[in-house]
A and B are shown apart, each in its own frame.
Chain A
Amino acid sequence: MKKIIALILALATLFCFAGCGKKKANVKLTIINEELGAENYGIAFRSEDKEVCKYIDAAVQELVKNGKYAEIAEKYPDIIDNLLFLNGDSKYEFDKTVDLTKAKKRTFTMGIDPEYKPFSYLDDNGEYAGFDVEVCKAACDILGWDFNVFGVNWDQKLIQLDAKECDCVWSGMTILDSMKKAGYNISAPYYYNTQVLVVAEDSGIESSKDLEGKIVAVQLGTSGETLLNDDLKELKDTFQELVTCESFMKCFTELEGNAVDAVFIDYPVAKNYISGK
């Protein structure tokens, strides 16, 4: 008797968990066509790693020259238009004196947000993939470095960088002035990004002005959050509440579950999520 009851209950639990795996996809999301913040993505290195930063910059330029960079970019159609090295918008002055052959052999650990598709994510085989990961791997090949990936806790990425858990943060990361001020070495900007709002299609929200009294979600530690607390503070003050989530996936779950009215997020990630559904 006892065993039977235990078995039935165990099965019931299993059934519940199996149900959790099913994804509800009946909520149509849409991106509001309004650019709320313009910024550039870059790579952050520790303050003492000026050399490493130069080597990576030079290696990436080498990739651009030999066409490998464009080859990788082809695989990510959502982001290709805004890559600064490919569309000729990069005004960065590179240090031409760097000699790639002089790079000493080492292990290079790249710090990524493993949930930031299409820049860095875990693919179906459980391997790290994404545009940034592939570029870093190719750059390491040029430099003769051993390539390694470390998934950081996004809201503590710079602390983990300082603690030498990784050698750079390279994962669709916005360059902030506060990072430069704190002494981090920042690479050449490589991606032009805008912040956008994602809402449910039938919500009737058409611009940021319609957000008065609404609940908006943003991922903790992203530039979007910084922006809302800084340059866009007036917009934020019209919200009923700004909710910070630990990953952008959770932001979208909240939006689909109607717990928030809009998600404030980087354009490529929003586009990729909506097209991938």
Chain B
Amino acid sequence: MDLLTIIIKMSEGLTKTCAIFFLTLIFALPLGIVIALLRMSKIKVISKITQFIVSVLRGTPLMLQLLAVTYGPYYLFGFSVSRDKLIPVVVAFAVNYSAYFSEIYRSGIESIPRGQYEAATILGYSKFQTFIKIILPQVFRRILPSITNEIVTLVKDTSIAFTVSYQEMFTIGKQIANSQTSFTPFLVAGVFYYLFNAIVAFVMGKVEKSMNYYKI
């Protein structure tokens, strides 16, 4: 098998890798805000429970959570295992990443000085308006570098989906490496991941620039 065939074969898997990546971001980024707000809730019970859930999600391996989401319902209740593996994979990834994102959001929200809330109240903003129009844009600008960090990790973590037999790019690479007794597919995979992350870094850099207006 020549290099071009390997690249074409692995590109087919790349669409599945991208599917995990984008769907995870779409669900995890908003879910992170919700978890961050629950975590900062004034009601102690809610805040404590959220804190515990976040600590479990961060404290156990993603691979384990992936297995639990995919095969857990089968072992516990005898439900059949999902035929489209993308669903459990995205659920596990989104929940796991939202836990990390929530802590990043919290650090951002808590870094906004108290005075801004007071000023907004005097100017007649409601609590909700203050949060959406004044606080959140600044939070986003501040936490972008940390978010980029997580997103870059996410790109590489997609290869964990192989644990539940999801046929993403790296799995296909391993298949080729096996049947051809060759190391080339791993090199190709490395280049693919690097390019993917280079694009991510470039896009996030642009986003950061466009939000400079909110920089304090």
Contacts and interface: CB of A to CB of B under 8 A. Distances in A.
Partners in one complex: yes
Interface of A: 1-2, 5-6, 9, 13, 16, 19-20, 22-24, 26, 155-156, 158-159, 178-179, 182, 215, 217, 220-221, 225-226, 229-230, 241, 243-246, 250, 253-254, 256-260
B75 A19 contact: yes
B52 interface: yes
Contacts of A1: 44
Contacts of B68: 20
Contact of B80 (A230, A245, A257): A257
Contact of B179 (A26, A226, A243, A253): A226
A20 B179 contact: no
* Leading 3 A-B pairs by shortest Cβ distance: A257-B81, A259-B81, A258-B80
Interface of B: 44-45, 48-49, 52, 56, 68, 71-72, 74-76, 78, 80-83, 85, 162-163, 165, 167, 171, 174-175, 177-181, 183
Contacts of A226: 178-179
Contacts of A22: 75-76
A24 B79 CA distance: 11
Given A5-B45, A259-B81, A178 B171 contact: no
A133 B24 CA distance: 44
A253 B78 contact: no
17 contacts: A2-B48, A5-B49, A6-B48, A9-B52, A16-B76, A20-B75, A22-B76, A23-B75, A24-B74, A220-B171, A220-B174, A220-B178, A244-B165, A244-B167, A244-B174, A253-B74, A257-B81
Contacts of B85: 259
Contacts of A250: 165
A165 to B, nearest CB: 16
A20 B76 contact: yes
Given A5-B45, A258-B81, A24 B75 contact: yes
B186 to A, nearest CB: 9
B78 A179 contact: no
A241 B83 CA distance: 11
